[in-house]
Structure 1
Amino acid sequence: MSRKDFANLVGSHENTIGNYERDDRTPDIVFVSNVCKKTGASLDWLILGKEPVLESDKNPQHAGIISKNVDEAESRLQQALCRCSRLEDELHNERQLSRDIVAENRQLWKENSMLREKYARLEAVKKQA
């Protein structure tokens, strides 16, 4: 079910649903109540994740919708977890690269300092000669 279809089902706007999905906003009690009424979802399941998912069998036509939504949510969650894993690996690699660059910079500063000292000594010898 698309975000637009779900928004129409529960009497909301698809942008509002998007805000809820991204945790940009928290649904109010009216919205939560509408979701429970329109889908037959249990309030305990919707808020706390406790079973049973369906309040009763009074809306069996929505059982398929909820099952499909759960499958889609699980799929999106799996994709998000894979993306998070890739991003964590990328972040680890970037941090390691940063540490390597910092270490190289320290070494270059030490070498630069030694070369300046050597140059100063050579200049002193040159002036004496």
Structure 2
Amino acid sequence: MNWRNYTLYTAWFVSMTAVLGSLYFSEVRGFIPCELCWYQRIMMYPLAIFLGIATIYQDTRIKKYVLPLSIIGGSISIFHYMMQKIPGFAAIKPCVQGVPCTGQYINWLGFITIPFLALVAFTLITILLLLTKSSSEKE
């Protein structure tokens, strides 16, 4: 078996880890998600469901449906992370009510925040999906 046969399964694992991590931060640690965090969740939660079903059926055609979710979610994560870490972006205020988007519940090693973790997950999922062998490719 080729390592590319496991990329779909690994992408599903990454998405499940991200979903469980976001639920841990909000439900166990009590961190209230900001508006951009909700948008990232809107992109990640369906990925866990779609990739789980695709993994069970070994359906590599799912790439064309889930790649847009992953890329859009990653773009939101980049923007959110830049708002947290680059002073000029903090002036942009998409979060007008509730928790500010510039807030950092965690700041591990001085650069790892929740949007950074989401960005890593979206990036890994995107790369893994791009590397997934489609059913028409020969071994």
| TM-score where L is the length of structure 1 | 0.32
Q: Which structure has the larger Rg over C-alpha atoms?
A: 1
Structure with higher RCO (Cα < 8 A, 6+ apart): 2
| TM-score where L is the length of structure 2 | 0.30
